[in-house]
Amino acid sequence: MDCVVERDDNARPLYPVRPTDLATLLDRLPLRQAGFLGDLGFTGKSGEVQFLPGPNGVAGAVCGLGDNRSPFAFGHLARLLPEGTVWRLEPGDYDAGSATLGFCLGAYRYTTLKPADRAPAKLVLLPEHALAVSQADAICMARDLINTPANLLGPVELGDAAIALGRRFGAETTLIEGNLLDRDYPTVAAVGAGSPRPSRVAIFHWRGSAAHDAAPLVSLCGKGVCFDTGGLDIKPSSGMLHMKKDMGGAANVLALAQLIMRADLPLRLAVRIGCVENSVSGTAMRPRDVIRTRSGLTVEVGNTDAEGRLVLCDLLCDAAAEQPSVLIDCATLTGAARVALGPELPALFCNNDAWAERVLRAGGKCYDPVWRMPLWSGYNAWIDSPIADINNISAKPFAGAIVAALFLQRFVPAETPWMHLDLYAWNEHAQAGRPEGGEAQAVRALFTAISEYLTAAG
């Protein structure tokens, strides 16, 4: 993270303040600076920043918070404060970790192919900021993966990134490809059959230093479609513009895994990433093809653009066989979820009320919200097939996100606590702390929920 420093004795003071506390702050400041703020009409509203004059230029700054208590109240500062300057947070009515997280998220730019227009300002890092910096680092890793163009990040490169992450933390890693992929993950192989770039499943298993053999097993599965043309049911060109982000579920899973491993949580972790490209060619899967899945269920391909659920179903079947304490999948799965909830609110489907409430509560607490949607069993008949056990789509134009979740549920035993996150993984336009482009969603909510589950379990 190039926006934090361990120490700087010459760091300038940054005063976050709410309107109700402004008078108290003005009393603390030197008379000249207080008068300067008064003349400028500073009120302390959210997003408002004023610089404090000193004998040699800018001596400090005041940042208005309004009633905004999210990290994003600080998301504009790294790019607004003078380039390369170093700042220290002064006490106030805010959470220092949240402030650090927002500052770091706002500093992010994707610079692999083009340098940023300017360097960010820097924040002095305190010991209590460590978790916030870890979260920001994981989120920025996910953003980098999603923002990387598809010609540079294909299934091989995504698989390599997953394996490299696991190895960095001492995990046991496995990369499935070729004939083994055809045999053990036939739906993943079928989705990638139309691409000249080989498909892979990347797997790693990790154990915290304090985790015993009976420690909770958290299993994560991610949809890693590195580009989605729609296959033979091809998308219009406008529908492909953001399809490099169709591996956003995998990126979010890897960000969550990094957080868990860096925090050395006392659990066992299993991660599975299905890395494919859904392309158009003479070898691509066809509408009305039937695929026999890892579970033995047969699937009729009603639409080749509903490929994400095919990537996930074999991963879920494999993961469920290990009897995890909780099984979580993340995917940029349906446009229907975006129609229902918009781009900023991931849809949560869950077969376990305790886990659903835990994640909803955690998301609200850490300003990383999700919204629970129903696994409405009344729609199960919509994905019946006359020639296979199940169809990958419904013939009806309704409830697309629910239907996709019901399809995935067929591959998870009822006794396994399971959560499915249907997310967008993209910021349509820049906001404070959220630059336009790839985004990690629900990662902090899930990490917080898992941490609280471990605490409650003792």
Active site residues: 235, 309
**What is the rounded distance in angstroms from the CA atom of residue 218 to the CA atom of residue 452?**
13
CA geometry: angle 308, 317, 336, nearest 5 deg? 30
Residue ranges of alpha helices (H) inside 231-297 are 237-240, 248-262
Mention every residue, 6+ apart, whose C-beta is less than 8 A from residue 120: 2, 3, 78, 79, 83, 106, 107
* Token representation of residue 50: 């004023």
C-alpha distances out from residue 224 to 80, 175, 315, Å:
35, 14, 11
Location of structure tokens 């899967």 = 285
What does DSSP assign to residue 431?
B
What does DSSP assign to residue 70?
S
Contact 67, 21 (CB under 8 A): no
Contact 394, 401 (CB under 8 A): no
Burial class from Cβ neighbours inside 10 Å (0-12, 13-18, 19+) for residue 28 reads exposed
Instruction: Give long-range contacts, CB 8 A cutoff, 24+ apart: 181-186.
Output: 184/294, 184/314, 184/318, 185/274, 185/294, 185/314, 185/315, 185/318, 186/291, 186/292, 186/293, 186/294, 186/314
Q: Residues in the chain, how many?
A: 458
Contact 52, 4 (CB under 8 A): no
Contact 55, 35 (CB under 8 A): no
What does DSSP assign to residue 256?
H
**What is the rounded distance in angstroms from the CA atom of residue 418 to the CA atom of residue 6?**
40
Radius of gyration from C-alpha coordinates of the chain: 24
Contact 335, 226 (CB under 8 A): no
* Token representation of residue 145: 């993966």
Burial class from Cβ neighbours inside 10 Å (0-12, 13-18, 19+) for residue 408 reads buried
